[in-house]
Amino acid sequence: MVQGKWLAPGEDLSLLLPVREAVFGRGTDVRDAESWNVLVLSDSVPAATGRIWWQDGAFWLGDLAVLEEYRRRHLGDLVLRLLLYKAQSHSAREVRLISPADLTGFFSRLGLQEQPGGNPRFIEMMIPGDQIDLDTCSRCPKTNCPNRQPG
Ligand SMILES: CC(C)(COP(=O)(O)OP(=O)(O)OC[C@H]1O[C@@H](n2cnc3c(N)ncnc32)[C@H](O)[C@@H]1OP(=O)(O)O)[C@@H](O)C(=O)NCCC(=O)NCCS
């Protein structure tokens, strides 16, 4: 079973920090004090994480991480959707993140757009809050899926 768990600023992060440490080689920092962190568990095992914080007029997403052995099972997608949902439920005007150049395709699937300029290895991406669309079907190319609503 896959479960998502929100951790408010100041809450104990001891379950999720091993995931961040395994993927990025670093643990907690000052930003955690102002971030909502999300932890995804797979059969009760901490497997994926990410966080969202407010800065300079935008919500920022960061530190999305899935343990190597849990990748390609849509846990990263779930973390991203949970973070975007949190931004949406706070009426975000815009949501931003910095993506490694080889991961922009992962984020653009949910509408984040590359911003011009900056470091070519780390690309700033943005989506206006009113363009966040978490409907799984709306970007899916399949036309013969039984889940697709007519019209
Ligand atoms: C990026 C990361 C979070 C993806 O996690 P994941 O659980 O393996 O990805 P998912 O299984 O949820 O992938 C969902 C979809 O995105 C696609 N996808 C995954 N990585 C992609 C990439 N680099 N480019 C384009 N699409 C990608 C998958 O093919 C899948 O597509 P589908 O829905 O058509 O099957 C994971 O690879 C990771 O932890 N990377 C290292 C940490 C990192 O660099 N994080 C980003 C910094 S903020």
> pLDDT tens across 44-74, in order?
999 999 999 999 999 999 999 999 999 999 9
Q: Read off the DSSP letter of residue 149.
A: P
Structure confidence by residue, pLDDT tens digits, 81-109: 999 999 999 999 999 999 999 999 999 99
pLDDT of 138 reads: 75
**Confidence bin at 135 (pLDDT 50/70/90):** confident
Ligand 1 centre distance from Cα of residue 151 (Å): 30
Helix H or strand E segment including 64: strand 58-66
What confidence tier does 139 reach under pLDDT thresholds 50, 70, 90? confident
Tell whether ligand 1 has an atom less than 6 A from the beta carbon of residue 142: no
Q: Which of 73, 77, 137 to mutate to test the pocket of ligand 1 (most atoms within 8 A of CB)?
A: 77
Name residues whose C-beta falls within 8 Å of residue 108's C-beta, 6 or more positions apart in sequence.
114, 125
- How far does the centroid of ligand 1 lie from the alpha carbon of residue 114, in Å? 16
Residue nearest to atom 33 of ligand 1 (CA): 74
Considering the entire predicted model, what is its pTM? 0.94
Domains, the chain: 2-131 (3.40.630.30)
Query: What is the distance in A from the centroid of ligand 1 to the CA of 148?
Result: 24
How far is 92 from 119, CA to CA, in rounded Å?
25
**Ligand 1 geometric centre to CA of 112 (Å):** 14
Would you say the CB of residue 66 lies under 6 angstroms from ligand 1? Answer: yes
Q: Are 80 and 2 in contact (CB under 8 A)?
A: no
Q: Is the pLDDT of residue 151 over 60?
A: no
* pLDDT for res 149: 66
Give the CA angle between residues 129, 84, 88 to the nearest 5°.
45
Please indicate whether residue 77, judged by its CB atom, sits closer than 6 Å to ligand 1: yes
> Ligand 1 centroid to 109 CA: how many Å?
10
